[in-house]
Amino acid sequence: MDINFKKSALILVDVQNDFCPGGALAVTDGDQVVSPLNECARAFAAANAPVIATQDWHPAGHCSFASTGRKAADGEVLWPDHCVQGTKGADFHPGLDLKPVTLVIRKGFRPSVDSYSAFFENDRKTATGLAGFLKGLGIGAVYVGGLATDYCVFFTVMDAIAQGFTAYLLSDAVRGVGFPEGSVEKAINAMKTAGAMAL
């Protein structure tokens, strides 16, 4: 892989216990992203390039939880309780090397708004500040891996492109939820159509 480290950042999306086998919202083989992402993160760090880790970080009773008894809006998916602030499920996978990580973005902490993307909450208006952070560093390209392909990775890649970044999807280092049926393929196609490059 030929990476211009001076203008690139790596985004590790939600590599957390609850999205890995045994977790509350387990993604099949979710833990398989850890090793390739560690390798990638160490290469970025060695080149002094920023490595950002996102962390799904919900308060108990969060609006995205099916346990609230709330009725899902059209096209909205409600989830089992997951990544509750301060719990083991919300921790990064123990195998994830955090030493290369230069910024942690927590998201989904507002009780009544969910947040899939590393850039914007699901109201599509509230920014996390990541775009400004990256632009301030002169970053033009982001490399994205983690969990889950069809939700947080997908929205992160689409927003990165919309914010003017070149986006690379680390195909070996993503895994998807696959609900509803076909959502992973649909997400990958949409990312490619939007201009993402799958590595």
Binding mask 18-57 for Zn ion (x = CB under 5 A): --------------------------------------x-
Residue 14 interacts with which of ligand VGL, Zn ion, none, CB < 5 to 8 Å by class: ligand VGL
The minimum distance between CB 116 and Zn ion, in angstroms, equals: 8
Query: Do residues 20 and 30 lie in contact, with contact meaning Cβ atoms separated by under 8 Å?
Result: yes
- Give the tokens for residue 38: 């560690």
Asked if 14 interacts with Zn ion (CB under 5 A), we say no
The verdict on whether 152 is a catalytic residue reads: yes
Would you call 148 exposed, middle or buried from its count of C-beta atoms within 10 A (0-12, 13-18, 19+)?
buried
Phi, psi at 11, each rounded to 5°: -115, 120
Query: CA torsion sign, 87 to 104 to 194 to 124?
Result: positive
The verdict on whether 40 is a catalytic residue reads: no
User: Could you tell me which residues come within 8 angstroms of residue 39 by beta carbon, excluding any fewer than 6 positions away?
Assistant: none
Give the active site residue among 56, 107, 150, 159: 107
The verdict on whether 107 is a catalytic residue reads: yes
The footprint of ligand VGL (CB under 6 A) covers 14, 19, 56, 79, 147-148, 151-152
Residue 57 interacts with which of ligand VGL, Zn ion, none, CB < 5 to 8 Å by class: none
**In the complex with Zn ion, which residue's Cβ is closer, 56 or 150?**
56
CA distance 94 to 74: 36
Asked if 150 interacts with Zn ion (CB under 5 A), we say no
Residues labelled as active-site residues: 14, 107, 152
